[in-house]
Amino acid sequence: MTLLGVDGCRGGWLAAVADRSGAVGWRWVPAFRDLYADPAAQVLAVDIPIGLPEQGTRACDVAARRLLGRRGASVFAAPVRPVLGCTTYAEARAVLARRNGPSMSAQAFGIVRAVRDVDACVQPSDDDRVVETHPEVAFARLSDGGVTAGKKTADGQAQRTAALAAAGFDIERLLATVPAPGRPDDALDALVCLWAARRWARGERATLGDGSRDARGLPMRIAC
């Protein structure tokens, strides 16, 4: 059995994979289903919204921003389910306008394709197997608030690298072997998602959110 920390990256998904012995390696796939369908995958902790609201903002996103304080802007609001079928930003804005809801940023629309990829796979029966996490929330927990700089800065990458090394990851080897097209910040995010997957597998199941589920029965929560 394996544990996976999964981060969306250019062209697909980067997974940090821990086998039964605890050894960690990498896997890159173009579609989330390539990971989801693996019968050996015991827990997949993925950096993507899973439970989606029909309108408004999820309680877990609000709680994540509150936890992160001034870095809370790194938590994008989950797209509402009605925009999941939209293929262009203009189409999504038109759908939201017809529903008299707030618009969304182009940056937020940028994750819709990845959200749709995951939503096509995950079922309510996957509650114990597939869990949403957020790298910044996970790093805040892992480092007890010690990660304070942006992830694309030199200081931010140094803080994240140090936190993961302290958690037992062979970070120098792992960063040297990231498969293309993954980048260093993708790799750090995937590794902290794997840290969250390990916690989940051990039964350490702290979550942000109010316990609500979406129209498909998927939980609207962020594991931390």
pLDDT band at 165 (very low <50, low <70, confident <90, very high): very high
Number of separate domains in the chain: 1
Residue 147 forms part of a structural domain:
yes
pLDDT computed for residue 72 by the predictor: 87
Q: Is residue 79 part of a domain?
A: no
Find where tokens 């293309």 sit: 180
* Residue 46 domain flag: yes
Per-residue pLDDT reduced to its tens digit, 92-132: 999 888 888 788 888 889 999 999 999 999 999 999 999 99
| Tokens, residue 205 | 């199941």
Q: What's the Rg (C-alpha) of the chain?
A: 17
Task: Domain of residue 187: give its range.
Answer: 2-51+125-201
Residue at 15 is within a domain? yes
In 10 A of CB 152, how many CB atoms?
A: 10
Q: Which amino acid is at 11?
A: G
pLDDT at 101: 76
pLDDT, residue 100, reads 80
> Is 111 among the domain residues?
no
Q: Which tokens hold the place of 168?
A: 């037992």
Q: Which pLDDT score is estimated for 107?
A: 84
Q: How many residues are present in the chain?
A: 224
> Does the residue 23 lie in any domain?
yes
- Asked if pLDDT for residue 40 goes beyond 90, the answer is yes
Averaged pLDDT of the chain:
95
CA–CA gap between residue 193 and residue 220 (Å, rounded): 17
Percent of the chain residues topping a pLDDT of 90: 85
In a domain, 108, yes or no: no
State the Cα–Cα distance between residues 206 and 24, nearest whole angstrom.
23
Name residues whose C-beta falls within 8 Å of residue 39's C-beta, 6 or more positions apart in sequence: none
Is 194 within the bounds of a domain?
Answer: yes
